[in-house]
């Protein structure tokens, strides 16, 4: 893993919070376009958040159940860098020029096997995603649950693409997660909030500091 960890703060809904999170050192900011989420940002309001981001902080759009053609059209209109998709089954289409991060909800060993099969098929078709996000499985919910993924299934995980850990991360456990699992990146939403969609900037700072320290 080296001394680098990539940090995404997801479910940001307020431009001033987006600016502050970027200044605290986040690598990416997630905008949730799933209307059923308490962190939902309408497309018309997304531009206000994107305008405040500095050049080297990547905006990532989060989509649930949206076809890839529509995902890419929205990403183009907004100027997103990457798209994170929750879809059943996972989307296999090419998202270029956008970095595609399909999310996988992990509950049991069979889910890891399914992930590996997905990546093998993608590699055979020369369409590997840029990374994959591994989240907790909570029936009927697509991320942002505050529930931890089963870490014991992710130890010593070797995939053909970078993987990002999500699910139940907080300033208090992210360091342990990084030291134990050695992910390429970490993703947090509810673990740094004072209410859904609104970030506690002190928690964000502590989360980023803990993650950076653990990766050194």
Q: What is the pLDDT of residues 22-41, one digit of tens each?
A: 999 999 999 999 999 999 99
Catalytic: which of 10, 27, 72, 187?
Answer: 10
Q: Rounded CA gap, 130 and 67, in Å? A: 18
Q: Which domains does the chain have, with CATH numbers?
A: 6-215 (3.20.20.70)
Q: Known catalytic residue: 209?
A: no
72 catalytically annotated: no
**Segments in 135-215 forming alpha helices (H):** 174-181, 201-215
Task: Kindly name the residue from 27, 72, 135, 187 that is annotated as catalytic.
Answer: 135
Is residue 192 within 8 Å of residue 207, measured between CB atoms? yes
Predicted pLDDT at 150: 86
pLDDT (0 to 100) of residue 149: 82
Q: How confident is the model at residue 144 (pLDDT cuts 50, 70, 90)?
A: low
- In this prediction the pTM is 0.93
pLDDT tens-digit map of 99-114:
999 999 999 999 999 9
Average pLDDT, the chain: 92
Q: Say how far apart CA 3 and CA 63 lie, in whole Å.
A: 30
What backbone torsions phi and psi does residue 4 show, to the nearest 5 degrees? -120, 135
């Amino acid at each position: 893993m080296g001394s680098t960890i990539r940090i995404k703060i997801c479910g940001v809904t307020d431009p001033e919070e987006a600016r502050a999170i970027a200044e605290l050192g986040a690598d990416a900011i997630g905008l949730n376009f799933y209307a059923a989420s308490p962190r939902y940002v309408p497309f018309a309001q997304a531009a206000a958040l994107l305008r405040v981001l500095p050049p080297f902080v990547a905006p990532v759009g989060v989509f649930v159940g949206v076809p890839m053609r529509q995902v890419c059209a929205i990403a183009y209109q907004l100027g997103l860098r990457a798209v994170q998709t929750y879809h059943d089954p996972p989307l296999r289409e090419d998202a270029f020029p956008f970095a595609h991060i399909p999310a996988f909800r992990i509950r049991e060993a069979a889910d890891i096997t399914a992930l590996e099969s997905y990546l093998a098929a993608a590699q055979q078709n020369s369409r590997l995603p840029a990374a994959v996000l591994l989240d907790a499985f909570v029936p009927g919910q697509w991320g942002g649950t505050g529930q931890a993924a089963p870490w014991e299934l992710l130890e010593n995980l070797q995939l053909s693409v970078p993987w990002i850990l999500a699910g139940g991360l907080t300033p208090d456990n992210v360091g342990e997660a990084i030291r134990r699992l050695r992910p390429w990146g970490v993703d947090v939403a509810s673990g740094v909030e004072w209410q859904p969609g609104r970030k506690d900037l002190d928690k964000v700072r502590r989360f980023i500091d803990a993650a950076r320290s653990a990766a050194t």
